[in-house]
Structure 1
Amino acid sequence: MKHHAKLLILCPFEFIGFQDLDHKIEEYLKTNQEEIVLYLVGSPITYLKVYEKILFHLYDKAQHYPTRFSVIFDTFNKQFTKNYKFDLIINLGTQLQGDFNIQLKVNHQNQQIQFSQESYKVNQFQRGANGGTFDHLHIGHKILLSLSLLAISQHLTIGITGDILLQKKKLKSFLQSYETRCRCVKEFCIMFRPDIELYFSELVEPAGPTKNGQYEVLIATQETQQSLQYINNLRKEQNLNQLEGYIVGMIENQTHQVDAKISSTQFREYIQTKNRLTEYEYLELKSQWLSVCDNLYWFESILVDYYSQPQRHYHTLRHIYDMLKQLKGAKNIQNVKLATFFHDVIYYPKIHDNEEKSCFLFQQFAQECKLDSEVISIFILQTKSHQTDVPFLPENDLSDLMIFLDADMSILESDAYPIYAQDIRMEYSHFPDKEYKIGRIAVLQKFLQSKIFNLRSEEKARKNIQEEIEILQQWVV
Structure 2
Amino acid sequence: MKLWLKHYWQDLISDYADTALMDTLWTTIVSKYTSKNRHYHNLSHIYTMYLQLEGFTNEIEDLESLKLAIWFHDIIYKSTNIDNETLSADFAAKALNKLPTDVFNIEKITNLIISTKKHKCLLTENNDNAYLLDLDLSILGTDWKTYSTYLQKIRKEYKIYPDIIYKPGRKKILKHFLERDTLYFTERFKTQFEKQARNNLMREINTL
TM-score, structure 2 as length reference: 0.85
Letter of the aligned partner of 1:440 in structure 2? R
Letter of the aligned partner of 1:458 in structure 2? E
Deviation at 1:286, TM superposition (A): 1.4
How does 1:242-281 map onto structure 2 within 5 Å? 281=1
Deviation at 1:403, TM superposition (A): 0.6
In terms of fraction of residues, the more strand-rich structure is 1
Deviation at 1:308, TM superposition (A): 0.7
**SS of match in other structure, 1:378:** helix
In terms of fraction of residues, the more helix-rich structure is 2
Counterpart position of 1:463: 199
**SS of match in other structure, 1:346:** coil
- Taking the aligned partners of 2:114 and 2:96, their CA distance within structure 1 comes to 15
- Taking the aligned partners of 2:155 and 2:52, their CA distance within structure 1 comes to 25
Percent identity, aligned pairs only, is 37
Counterpart position of 1:296: 23
Superposition misfits of 4+ residues, deviation over 6 angstroms = none
Counterpart position of 1:358: 88
Identify the match of residue 115 of structure 2 among 376, 382, 401: 382
How does 1:95-134 map onto structure 2 within 5 Å? none
- Taking the aligned partners of 2:52 and 2:195, their CA distance within structure 1 comes to 18
Identify the match of residue 344 of structure 1 among 57, 74, 78: 74
- Taking the aligned partners of 2:147 and 2:10, their CA distance within structure 1 comes to 30
Contact 1:314–1:424 under 8 Å retained in 2 = yes
In the alignment, structure 2 segments of 5+ residues that lack a partner are: 15-21
- Taking the aligned partners of 1:323 and 1:359, their CA distance within structure 2 comes to 18
Letter of the aligned partner of 1:388 in structure 2? C
How does 1:303-322 map onto structure 2 within 5 Å? 303-322=29-48
Range 455-464 or range 341-350, more displaced? 455-464
Q: Deviations over 1:122-180 (max 9, x none)?
A: xxxxxxxxxxxxxxxxxxxxxxxxxxxxxxxxxxxxxxxxxxxxxxxxxxxxxxxxxxx
Counterpart position of 1:402: 130
Deviation at 1:284, TM superposition (A): 1.5
Letter of the aligned partner of 1:285 in structure 2? L
- Taking the aligned partners of 2:179 and 2:118, their CA distance within structure 1 comes to 13
TM-score, structure 1 as length reference: 0.38
Contact 1:379–1:401 under 8 Å retained in 2 = yes
Deviation at 1:382, TM superposition (A): 0.4
Counterpart position of 2:171: 441
Answer yes or no: is 1:285 the counterpart of 2:21: no
Q: Deviations over 1:244-267 (max 9, x none)?
A: xxxxxxxxxxxxxxxxxxxxxxxx
- Taking the aligned partners of 1:343 and 1:358, their CA distance within structure 2 comes to 6
How does 1:70-219 map onto structure 2 within 5 Å? none
**SS of match in other structure, 1:380:** helix
Contact 1:349–1:428 under 8 Å retained in 2 = yes
Give aligned pairs, total.
186
Contact 1:448–1:462 under 8 Å retained in 2 = yes
- Taking the aligned partners of 2:50 and 2:175, their CA distance within structure 1 comes to 27
Q: CA RMSD in A?
A: 1.3
Contact 1:366–1:372 under 8 Å retained in 2 = no
How does 1:416-435 map onto structure 2 within 5 Å? 416-435=146-165
Deviation at 1:366, TM superposition (A): 1.3
Letter of the aligned partner of 2:44 in structure 1? R
Counterpart position of 1:334: 64
Deviation at 1:389, TM superposition (A): 4.6
- Taking the aligned partners of 2:199 and 2:96, their CA distance within structure 1 comes to 40
Letter of the aligned partner of 1:464 in structure 2? N
Deviation at 1:283, TM superposition (A): 1.7
Structure number, greater radius of gyration: 1
Counterpart position of 2:18: none
- Taking the aligned partners of 1:336 and 1:426, their CA distance within structure 2 comes to 28
